[in-house]
Amino acid sequence: MVLPKISQQPIIHVDATPDEEYPLRILRAYRENCNCKWVSDTENPVIEQMNKDCHQRAVILDAAITLLEQEI
């Protein structure tokens, strides 16, 4: 099985310095990865759903990041 193309390379490394910003760095990296979109030359309902799910994850991560930023 060949995976479809993705619009940008995902972040695969997060600075793991054990400080109070560490959880935010993790969430921000996952959030940045939500900007990656699956791309296909043809209409594909699976890819469309994957991109919709990615958008929903972005909304949830944005809310979590906002909450954590208020705590720090």
Place of tokens 């979109």: 37
Question: What does the pLDDT look like over 41-65, one tens digit per residue?
Answer: 889 999 999 999 999 999 999 999 9
In a domain, 31, yes or no: yes
Q: Is residue 72's pLDDT more than 80? A: no
In a domain, 35, yes or no: yes
Q: Is residue 28's pLDDT more than 90? A: yes
In a domain, 34, yes or no: yes
**Percent of the chain having pLDDT more than 90?**
71
For residues 54 and 36, the answer to whether their CB atoms sit within 8 Å is yes
What is the per-residue DSSP string for 7-47? SSPPP-------STTHHHHHHHHHHHHTT--EE-SS--HHH
Residue 34: give the domain boundaries.
Answer: 18-71
In a domain, 50, yes or no: yes
In a domain, 64, yes or no: yes
In a domain, 2, yes or no: no
For residue 7, give the nearest of 52, 43, 38 by alpha carbon: 38
In a domain, 6, yes or no: no
Number of independent structural domains in the chain:
1
pLDDT, position 1? 62
15 phi and psi, to 5 degrees? -55, 115
